[in-house]
Amino acid sequence: MLSAKREWILIAGVMLFMIGLLGTGLALIYSVIIAIGLYAAIKVYVGRKKLKIARDVPEGICVQCGSSISGGKCPHCD
Tens-level pLDDT at each residue, the chain (78 residues): 678 899 999 999 999 999 999 999 999 999 999 999 999 999 999 999 989 988 877 777 888 887 888 787 888 886
Question: How many structural domains are present in the chain?
Answer: 1
Please check whether residue 16 lies inside any domain of the structure. yes
CA nearest 77: which of 64, 68, 59? Answer: 64
Give a yes or no: residue 14 inside a domain. yes
User: 33 in a domain, yes or no?
Assistant: yes
- Cβ neighbours of 35 (radius 10 Å): 21
Q: 3-state class of 58 per DSSP?
A: coil
Tell me if 24 is assigned to some domain: yes
- Residue at 31 is within a domain: yes
- Residue 34 maps to a domain: yes
Q: 68 lies in a domain?
A: no
The pLDDT value recorded for residue 48 is 95
Q: How far apart are CA 35 and CA 23, in angstroms?
A: 14
Tell me which residue range forms the domain holding 12.
2-56
Give yes or no for a contact between 36 and 65, defined as CB atoms under 8 angstroms apart: no
Q: Which residues contact 32 (CB under 8 A, 6 or more apart)?
A: 18
